[in-house]
Structure 1
Amino acid sequence: MITAQTQVDHYYEMLVEKNSQYEGIFYVGVKTTGVFCRPTCPAKKPLKKNCEFFDDAQEALLAAYRPCKRCKPLSAPSYLTEDVQRLVDAVEANPERKWTDKDFSSLAIHPNTARRQFKKYFGMTFIEYSRSRRLGLAFKHIRQGEPLIDAQLEAGFDSGNGFRDAFAKIMGDLPSNSKEKTILYSSWLETKLGAMLAISDHARLYLLEFVDRRGLETEIMVLRKRLNASIIPQQTSIIQQLAAELTEYFNGQRTTFTIPLAMIGSPFQQQVWQQLQQMKAGETYSYKQLAQAIGNEKACRAVANANGKNQLSILIPCHRVINSDGTPAAMAVV
């Protein structure tokens, strides 16, 4: 079984080896220096305990790391154009600066060139890159418990409203005191059945859902409200473990999961979800059978409602519950 720690160990081994085959697979943030690097960076390797691994550069930026000047992690395998390199250097010279189209004239670069070339190399626009750097700095200050006004000014936001709007797009509603908020972390996962969104803290998984599911925004809003939570786009060890186990599951190498789950719901809903977790691979229930299994045969409608409220797709196999309407009969409950 591939665990989150196993993946960290493997990535660290590849980092020490400077294995070029892992270019683009991960980036490493070095806690002691505040920079993030490619796997092949020629700099002296940090201790494992001082490393954080990220799937892409934007995650590292939002975690408040800046690009390494030696390995240039924002450079594509081929050399950057002069215009793109000039833009990267300009942001790093003043990461708190808020860029607009008018500012490009000072660099003798056309705004359309900045958007097109940045998107080509990095998968995000120049404005998205500079905003990620600014918000990453803000997240760092807030996680350290500093006053919000300091985070706002350090991130280059003169307007409190502007800062709150930018912050809310990623973290959710901004608290008046960030220490009163629960901080959750989200990450986009690609699977054989489509893209999924995972949300966790550092101990448990709270949500796993396909991004095209109708009502996903409502699910996230309900989760944030129940937990008084804000959500930061960042991978945790829980999400890294989840990604590895999902890969094994979809490759037919795994039938059960070991991810610790946070099942947020009523006692009845949790009872239904716990029963679903007892199902064997390939087994299905009708709503009636599921109600019988929890000892309440008349609760079919409530069972169906609980099934629909499941926020942990695949791991709690609500997709195996079928209607008693002429479809193939479910296997007997064991």
Structure 2
Amino acid sequence: MSEPHCPDRNVPEDPGLPALSRALDPKSAAEALQDSLGSVVIEKARLLRHRPGRRALVEYRVLTGSGDRRVLLGKLRAKGLDTKSYRVQKALREQGVAVPGVLGTVPELGMWLQERLPGKPVTAGLPGPDGPRLCAASAELLRALHDSDVEPLRAPHTLRDEVRILRERLPLVSRARPELERRVQRILHASEGLAREMELSRGEARTTGIHRDFYPDQVLQRGGRMFLLDLDLFCRGDPALDAGNFLAHVTEQALRDLGDPKALALCEEAFVERFVELSGESLRRAVHDYATLTLVRHVHISHRIPERKPFTEVILSLCEERLLARENRQ
């Protein structure tokens, strides 16, 4: 077997996630992974994502005892092993939903393992001629998730939770950008009105297991197959929320990458039409309403991510346009 890769000397110190340094040391990590994988050599450990004090995602390139090379992902959490996400993804895979296979848990590192699948996120293909087909296929994958009878292990997520998130996050934009405060307050007020209208029109909407963070980057294209990624927020909720979230992210991508929120309109149309064909015409309005609420949330997301800050005011204007158009129709 080959020798393990030297430890990364640039491992970030994270007192809130002390297991991270060990997880990134190939020799130490290999010892911890033995119970799940048997004897392996970790040829390289690479930090892919890191939220200090909260969680991290590590890529492992391993050589197994039988001589096979594999690429794995390790998901670490400061609060300890996330057994809920592990169990849900394992159950979904067993039911035939296209998600990466799980490979075991490493309690001493607060980490669970899954295979890393090769492929490209759907996001990359949206501007091309295949974009509408990819979006329609994403709707089919989403419906498969909603149709599964895997019981969510997290608390339900409701429309009121969506509004609560806006109330918590939009004031952060107002404080940092006081010149936008009146406009931000106005879209928050209009969003609350939209949510009240949705509650009246939706009534006791049917709930299913939902992804809760479904957008094109969460769908992996691998040859002719599509795979659903990152089920960490899987819970019970309104299936239209997932579809609206996807739709809003496509609009935001069009605005940010192509300079026109309507540039990927054919992709949006293909997604919505396939989703309502599979899930019911009665969800169409809710999908668009949830998309509007998600765009409002993107005002804060753009403010939070440094490279997206230049788009905050443009997204705000788009939200104003949509919410004011709704008010004028009433």
- TM-score for the superposition, normalised by structure 1: 0.26
Structure of greater Rg = 1
Where relative contact order (Cα < 8 A, 6+ residues apart) is larger, the structure is: 2
More helix by share: 2
- TM-score for the superposition, normalised by structure 2: 0.26
